[in-house]
Amino acid sequence: MTVKKQKLIGSFVKKSSDKTIVVKVERRFRHPRYKKVVKVSKNYLVDYNSDKDLTPGEKVVIISCRPVSKLKRWRFHSSMNVEVKSWFSQKQSLM
Give the three-class secondary structure for 65.
coil
Cβ atoms of residues 4 and 65 within 8 Å: no
pLDDT tens digits, residue range 73-90?
A: 999 999 986 555 555 556
Q: pLDDT per residue over 43-70, tens digit each? A: 999 999 988 889 999 999 999 999 999 9
CA 21 – CA 79 distance, rounded (Å): 13
For the segment 8-28, the average pLDDT, to the nearest whole number, is 94
Given a cut of 90, whether residue 94 has pLDDT beyond it is no
